[in-house]
Amino acid sequence: MILAERIIVRSPNWVGDAVLSTPAVRAVRENFPAAQITLVAKPWVAPVFLHNPCVDNIYRYESEGRHGGWLGKVRLVKELRRERFDLAVLFQNAFEAALLVFLAGVRVRLGYATDCRRVFLTHAIDVDQYDRDGHQIGYYLGILEGASLESKGEQLAIVVSDRERVRAEETLRSCKVRPESPLVGINPGAAYGSSKRWPLARYAALCEKIRRLRGAEIIIFGGPEEQAVGQKISSLMKGRCTDLCGRTNLREAIALIEKCRLFITNDSGLMHVAAALDIPLVAIFGSTDPKATGPRNPRSRVVQSPVSCAPCFKRECPEDHRCMKRISVDQVYAVVDTLL
């Protein structure tokens, strides 16, 4: 039996993975209802857990800033050691994650025995016990189950504050978005690589069709690295749209996605954000497997073209990107139509 009063939870490093870990974070709270739970996350992931009632503190691991290099790691270990954590739950699988909590003197260290880190874990969970045909949510819950801790449910969790909702409304007004029109968000990027991206010209044609037939307002979501993507789609559309690529931080994007009547996306972090917010969504899949990383939302639909080479999980397609090119605008719109 594991007893703990001060718990450190190490988040995954990608936004989508962080969202998928929220049921496991909730399970940590349910197993240790009186404990103080500190979540350690990279700065770009930490906003996923803001306002989450299962987390008491969020500690930003600034590996590219004050925690960079060996001196930065020493600083991090000292900071963690001062907190006197007695349990570490590692949802991040790297060798470094286990080494750092070991050096920080955390008494009980729980995680998968991957990346040669078994020696640093007191509860090293055999990753082979994970159902590889299951969803990634189960992968994170499996860490707790492997240590005989309970897990109840796979519901995702992202919490939006009232202040963030007001700010989202102000943003929409400043962009002159018509409040009476259905709001449709699109997310044409994907950080993993181009193999996960449906062609931009088809996104533009789809948006134009939705705007024309449904009178919808279109908002393009994306980070700073996707500004060219938003500009390209905007230039290809005949009617107006609102391009917010690079103009919002993650929390602002989350609050705006909550305002959407529908969200259309590639397999990406914002796809899981929309699923966690229970927004109807259409997810376009190519090189990856929706069985493992598809949206967990009863109001979501996956559009996929069966091809012999998929899922290949490659960042860039070495052939002709047929998994995405065989998905037509009309095929996606037919699914959009049922949700709108």
For residue 194, what pLDDT band results from cuts at 50, 70 and 90?
A: confident
pLDDT greater than 80 at residue 71: yes
Angle, nearest 10°, between helix axes 162-174 and 250-257?
80
What strands lie across the sheet with 300-304, from one edge to the other?
Answer: 242-243, 217-220, 183-187, 262-266, 281-285, 300-304
For residue 129, what pLDDT band results from cuts at 50, 70 and 90?
A: low
Among 337, 188, 166, 332, residue whose Cα is nearest residue 268: 188
C-beta atoms surrounding 228 within 10 Å: 13
Would you list the domain boundaries of the chain? 6-145, 162-339
40-43 long-range Cβ contacts below 8 angstroms, 24+ apart: 40/8, 40/9, 40/10, 40/11, 40/80, 41/10, 41/11, 42/11, 42/13
For residue 95, what pLDDT band results from cuts at 50, 70 and 90?
A: very high
**108 touches 84 (CB < 8 A):** no
Is 6-145 a CATH 3.40.50.720 domain? no
Residue that is written with structure tokens 């639909």 in the block: 301
Query: What are the backbone dihedrals phi and psi of residue 20, each rounded to the nearest 5 degrees, phi first?
Result: -70, -20
Q: Which of 70-79, 146-155, 190-199, 296-305 has the lowest mean pLDDT?
A: 190-199
**332 touches 325 (CB < 8 A):** no
Q: What is the mean pLDDT of residues 207-222?
A: 95
Task: Report the alpha-carbon distance of residue 293 to residue 269 in Å, rounded.
Answer: 10
Q: What is the CA radius of gyration of the chain?
A: 21
Tell me the CA distances in angstroms from 309 to 39, 320, 328, one per residue in order: 38, 11, 19
Q: What is the largest CA-CA distance in the chain?
A: 63
Question: Domain 162-339 - what CATH class?
Answer: alpha beta
Q: What is the mean pLDDT of residues 299-327?
A: 90
The whole-number pLDDT of residue 239 equals 86
Check for a shared fold between 6-145 and 162-339.
yes
What is the model's pTM?
Answer: 0.95
